[in-house]
Structure 1
Amino acid sequence: MNFYKSLAVAGGVTGTILGAVLLTGLMTHKQTELDEAARSRPQTLRIQAIPVRLGGYSLKYKRGTGDIVMLSVSVTVPGAKEKELVCRLAPRLVSTVTNDVTIRYAETDALRADLTRTLPDHLRRRFNLALGGTLIQSVTVDTVDAGQFPPQSTCNNAS
C-alpha cells in the first residue's frame, strides 16, 4: 500500500513539473513572437539636434544670412534592424542636413516656410542616397526655438 501511495505522489509531482515546464515554454514562445512583431513595426527615431548656419560661410557679408538655427530631425524606418543601421550611420545624416540646409536656405523665414513642404521629402531622398538604400520612409524637421532645450536623440550611439 505504501508503494502505491509513493507511486501516486511521484506521478503527481512529475506531472506538475512537466506541466509547469510546458506552460513556461508556451509563454516564452508567445513572448518571442510578440517581440518579433514589435521589431518588424515601423520605428521612429530622433537624430541629435543639428546647429546650421544659414547661407553658409563666406568672407563677404550677405544681408540676412549667418543666422544659426537648431534643427530637430526625426525619421521613420521599417523596423528595428533598420533603426540600428540608421543610428550607426547617423553622423552621415547630420552631415547631409548641415550641407543641404546651409546651401539651400539663406534666411530663417524661407526655412520656416519650407519645413513642412519640400524639405522633408528632399532630406528623405538625400538620406536614402547617403545610406545607400531605401531605409528612410519619412522625415520630419522642426526648429528648436532659442532658449529651449532640443529633444534628446533616440540613438544611443549617435554623436
Structure 2
Amino acid sequence: PRAPATFGDPNGPCFSLSPTPLPPYVRCSPQIPTVPQALPRALINIRTAVQTVLAGTTVELECLGLGEPRPHVTWSKVGGRIRPGVLIRAGTLTMEQVERADAGQYRCTATNAVGTVQSHVILHVQGEQGDTEVGTHSVSLQVGDTSVCPQPLLKLPGSQR
C-alpha cells in the first residue's frame, strides 16, 4: 500500500509507517494502548487527622485513596495491632466500643502499580463520662487577660456542668 493502513497481526492491530522496497513491503508498528498511571495518594481530612473520643463510643477513621490505577487502601496501627472486630471497608476503619488501648497512631497505606504512599491519624481516647481524672495546667494571668484550656474538660461525678 502507498498510504498507511491498519492491519491485524498476532500481536494485535498495527499500522503502516511507510512503504518499503523489500518484503514485506510495509513497515508495521504495533498500536499499544496506553493507560494513564499516577502515584497513589492517601488523603486524610485535616479536620480528622487528630481525633479525641470518649471510651465506649464509635469512631471512624477515613482515608481516601486516589490514583490510577485505583489504589488499594489498608490500615495498620503504628507500634501495635488493630484489635479483632474492627471493620475496615472502602478506606474507612470503624471501631465500636473504643477502649483506651485503642489510642495511638494509625497508618493508612494506599498502593497501586505505580507505588505506595502513607498518611496517619492520631487517636486519643479519654475515659468514659464520669471519670474523675483531672490534669493540671498552670497559667499566669493578669487582670483582663484571657486563656483557653489546652484540653477538653471531662464532667466530674456529681457536678452540674
Give the structure-1-normalised TM-score: 0.29
Structure with the larger RCO, 1 or 2 (CA within 8 Å, 6+ apart): 1
Q: Which has the higher strand share?
A: 2
Instruction: Flag the structure with larger Rg.
Output: 2
Q: Which has the higher helix share?
A: 1
TM, length-normalised to structure 2: 0.28
